[in-house]
Amino acid sequence: MRDVNHYNIRRISFKSIIDLFEIKAVKYAKLNLISEKGESLKGKVIETKFTFAEIKTEVKKLKSILESFSQTKSEAIAIWSQNSHRWLIADLAIMSLGAVTVGIHPDASDSELAYILNTTQARTIFIDDLKFFNKLKRVFATHKLYIRDIVIMNPKLSLIDDELTDIKIHIWEPLMSKNVDQSLLQSEKLSLGIDDVACIACTAGTEGLPKLVKLTHKALLNVVNNSVKSLGLSSQDIFFSINSFAVITERVIGPYAALLKGFSLYIPADSRAYLADLESEKITVCSMTPPILNQIQERIFIDLNSKPFLKFLMKVPLLDLFAKAEIKKSLAPNLKFFISYGDALSPMVELYLRGFNLKIAQCFSLTEAAGLLAIAPSSKFTRGSCGRLLKNTRVKIIQGGEIVCAGESIVKSHYANPNNVDNFFYEDGETWFKTGDIGALRNQNLFVSVKYRELISSKAGTKIAVNHVEVLLEGVPYVTYAVVVGQNRDFLSALIFINEEVFRLMYQKVDKYSITRQCEIDIELINQNLSKIEEIRKFVVLDQPLSVLRGELTPTLKKCKKTIEENYQDRIEVLYN
């Protein structure tokens, strides 16, 4: 009788991500799974390639080392690091042990780090370098953690003089070069079930500390299979991840999808310098969040205004096509499409980028749905749509217009808070998750209009969808972020954060009066497309960018509006006084 726990993908049965990896590592043994740029010991930038077979050997070795740490099935093991081939090796080794990966974003704050480690009771943590180690020491000084083993993955380190009481510190290179007991390497393969937990994912934490979500192998496999089919990825693609592998959406459309289809992952030396990598590498697919796509639009404006000939051609019919092709060639010559996820992308930004043949596959991402709920392939552009629902997921619209979802990829509760009634409810024989977004479902296409939790109540009690207004404001090329305020007020106001370089190139000046006057003009144009109650009556241009360090942005660059309003409360009060 066939094992009902198997998950079928094109006639091959996988019960776990590890099953998928081990089968595909044989099929794609000689293909490069990872191309990684990094600094050599002499400080030169070099590119190293790692085949599926090489990664498989390292995973097997690290698994046996983790067993020597007395790590066992179902225990949590954390990875807190920048992207690297070692990140993926650690992740796969953890899962091959039957343990649970806890991916922590490299920009996590001290409080987030302490909360995640304490809640999951992780006893082993993989960290990047001495900078991460010093931050971890700071957390140890104020919190009691369960950590007993720390593995520092920086390839330049061979030893460390520092110590932590009752904690063993291991360095990646010496650790992995040790002779491993051959009996451990040949140990019987652990049987993982499709309903076993593969990882604990963390939400963005826009409303405080992140929520922790247990995701099974079944949930991950469903999303990986469906996303690969929807996006049309193949073994010829080179996938560029700008965001951290700690973000579950990034992992399912990047590393795990690469396991399924045999394409290569490109990991830069510095993800912040992504534009240089888009220009120089044969990258065909790149995933990023809307704030970074806004930066791409800003880059195009800078390019056009710094190249007078192309700027002139843009004004000439037909010749503008040549100018746009040149911009695309200089920015991302081999790119087939961007994958956008994490928040709403301004329709103006999307249309502008498409004008330069920079296609975008829009996704509706949700940690509680193993990363993705819907995908709109770049070839099937429907304005305003987040795409078609993934197979085996269900969505309905409840009172108030909120989107709720259920299915085999959707979790039933939050980790360490199983009785959370605010986010889950039981109906029609299954558990439904409240997404917090308002929208509609038409012909299996999902349309999201506003975040339910970001509705503002006017002084008269009317609910206003302010994120819709913010998206329009952020569609203005020189506006990097906009935050609309007005809770229990007579009208709406806006905090505007601008890119001065873009403004200077557009208007040849960057003084305070010119910026304020141009904002007035653009806001008035936007107000013409809004209802009276949605109009922006007053605004202030802030002279510093939003910051992750100040808690105003999450590590994935989502706005933490409560913190922003607290930090700029005095400026907001001036608008209303």
Return the residue matching tokens 């806006």.
494
Q: Long-range CB contacts (< 8 A, 24+ apart) of 514-519?
A: 515/541, 516/541, 518/478
| List of E strands, 128-196 | 149-152, 168-171
If we measure between CA atoms, which residue out of 247, 198, 276, 266 comes closest to residue 20? Answer: 198
CATH of the domain at 57: 3.40.50.980
Q: How many C-beta neighbours within 10 Å does residue 47 have?
A: 13
Do 254 and 265 contact (CB within 8 A), yes or no?
yes
Specify whether 183 is located in the same domain as 75: yes
Distance CA(571)–CA(566), nearest Å, equals 10
344 falls within a domain: yes
**Residue finishing a domain among 422, 452, 482:** 452
Cα 366 to Cα 203: distance, rounded to the nearest angstrom: 8
State whether the Cα torsion 280-286-288-291 is positive or negative: positive
238 in a domain, yes or no? no
CATH of the domain at 275: 3.40.50.12780
User: Distance between CA atoms of 235 and 392, rounded to whole angstroms?
Assistant: 26
Residue carrying the six token digits 């497309």: 529
Q: Are 529 and 472 in contact (CB under 8 A)?
A: yes
Q: Are residues 400 and 468 in the same domain?
A: no
Single residue among 160, 175, 192 that ends a domain in this structure? 192
What are the two backbone dihedrals, phi and then psi, of residue 390, each rounded to the nearest 5 degrees?
A: -70, 150
> Does residue 20 sit within a domain?
no
Tell whether 72 and 187 lie within a shared domain.
yes
Question: What is the pairing mode between strands 371-376 and 360-366?
Answer: antiparallel
C-alpha angle 270/272/277, rounded to 5°? 70
Angle at 444 between CA 441 and CA 448, to 5 degrees: 35
Are 357 and 333 in contact, with CB atoms under 8 Å apart?
no
- Whether residue 11 contacts residue 25, with contact meaning beta carbons closer than 8 Å, is answered with no
Residue pair 82/131 in contact by the 8 Å Cβ criterion: no
Nearest of 414, 19, 394, 373 to residue 194 by alpha carbon: 19
* Token pair for 343: 């928040």
* Residue whose C-alpha is closest to residue 7's, from 19, 25, 23, 22: 19
Whole-number Å distance between alpha carbons of 21 and 18: 5
User: pLDDT at position 8, please?
Assistant: 57
Detail the DSSP E strand segments found in 341-429. Answer: 360-366, 371-376, 385-389, 393-397, 402-407, 424-427
Is the separation of the CB atoms in 410 and 393 below 8 Å?
A: yes
181: which 2 tokens? 């007991």
Residues 6+ apart with CB under 8 A from 515: 498, 500, 503, 541
Q: Which two tokens stand for residue 79?
A: 């990875």
* CA distance linking residue 519 with residue 511, whole number of Å: 12
Residue 214 resides in a domain: no
> What are the helix (H) ranges across 377-479?
466-474
Residues 464 and 448 in one domain: no
Does residue 184 share a domain with residue 332? no
Question: pLDDT at position 349, please?
Answer: 85
CATH number at residue 569: 3.30.300.30
pLDDT in tens, 384-420: 788 888 988 899 998 888 899 999 889 988 887 755 6
Beta partners for residue 395, in sequence order: 405
Same domain, 106 and 130: yes
Whether 377 and 484 map to the same domain: the answer is no
| C-alpha 412: how far from chain center | 22
Sign (positive or negative) of CA dihedral 495, 499, 500, 505 = negative
Closest listed residue to residue 195, CA positions, set 224, 218, 213: 218
pLDDT digits (tens, 9 = 90+) for 341-389: 987 788 888 888 988 999 999 999 999 999 999 998 888 777 778 888 8
The predicted pLDDT at position 123 comes to: 94
CA distance 50 to 404: 41
Q: Are residues 147 and 97 in the same domain?
A: yes
Radius of gyration of the chain (CA): 24
Tell which residue, 434, 438, 440, has the closest CA to residue 466: 438
Closest listed residue to residue 221, CA positions, set 404, 48, 9, 445: 9
- pLDDT for 183: 56
DSSP class of residue 188 equals P
Which residues make beta-bridge pairs with 264?
Answer: 238
The tally of domains found in the chain comes to 3
Distance separating alpha carbons of residues 111 and 115, to the nearest angstrom: 6
What pLDDT digit, counting tens, does each position of 453-486 carry? 677 888 888 888 888 898 889 889 899 999 999 9
Are 163 and 267 members of one domain? no
Strand 424-427 with 430-442, pairing: antiparallel
The Cα–Cα gap between 530 and 276 comes to: 38
The pLDDT, as a whole number, for residue 566 is 92
Residue spans of the chain under pLDDT 50: 1-5, 10-11
What are the residue ranges of helices labelled H in 281-318? 290-306, 308-313
Q: Do 572 and 493 belong to one domain?
A: yes
Range of the domain at 60: 44-192
> pLDDT, tens digit, for every residue of 154-211?
877 777 777 777 889 999 998 998 776 655 555 555 678 889 999 999 987 766 788 8
Residue 150, amino acid: I
Spatial distance between the Cα atoms of 454 and 557, rounded to a whole number of angstroms: 17
The verdict on residue 38 lying in a domain is no
> Is residue 277 included in any domain, yes or no?
yes
Note the pLDDT of residue 482.
93
DSSP, residue by residue, 15-42 = SSHHHHHHHHHHHTTTSEEEEEEEE-TT
Considering the domain architecture, whether residues 79 and 179 belong to the same structural domain is answered as yes
Closest CA to 427 of 446, 400, 404, 453: 404
Sort strands 32-39 and 45-51 into parallel, antiparallel or unpaired: antiparallel
Determine the pLDDT at residue 3: 41
On whether residue 251 sits in a domain, the answer given is no
Q: Among 430, 452, 474, where does a domain finish?
A: 452
Same domain for 432 and 541?
A: no
Flag whether 225 is in a domain.
no
| 3-class DSSP state of 189 | coil
